[in-house]
Amino acid sequence: MVWTNRRVGSAAGPHLDSDLTLGDMAARAGMSERTFSRRFRDQLGTTPIQWLLRTRIRRAQHLLETPTTPSIA
């Protein structure tokens, strides 16, 4: 299985706010945690947990930098 940041992001994206674990990601990929972690690292150059933390930080930065428009009711 070949991973890309986009593919992993689309699979994990809806779950970034929840307690997503290595076991959850491995189960979604149909692999053991060890196999998933090893293949993920080989393909993306980082561990799944490091990727998840970096993705969450980027999302938080984006949310902080994006102004919200108050709704007028």
pLDDT digits (tens, 9 = 90+) for 11-31: 565 666 668 888 888 888 888
For residues 52-64, average pLDDT: 89
- Residue 27 is classified by DSSP as H
Cβ-proximal residues to 27 (8 Å cutoff; 6+ apart), any chain: none
Rg of the Cα trace of the chain?
15
Domain spans of the chain, in order of start:
5-65
**68 SS3 class:** coil
| Fold (topology level) of 5-65 | Arc Repressor Mutant, subunit A (1.10.10)
Residue 63 binned pLDDT confidence (cut-offs 50, 70, 90): confident
Nearest to 14 by CA among 45, 54, 47, 55: 55
The pLDDT assigned to 61 comes to 92
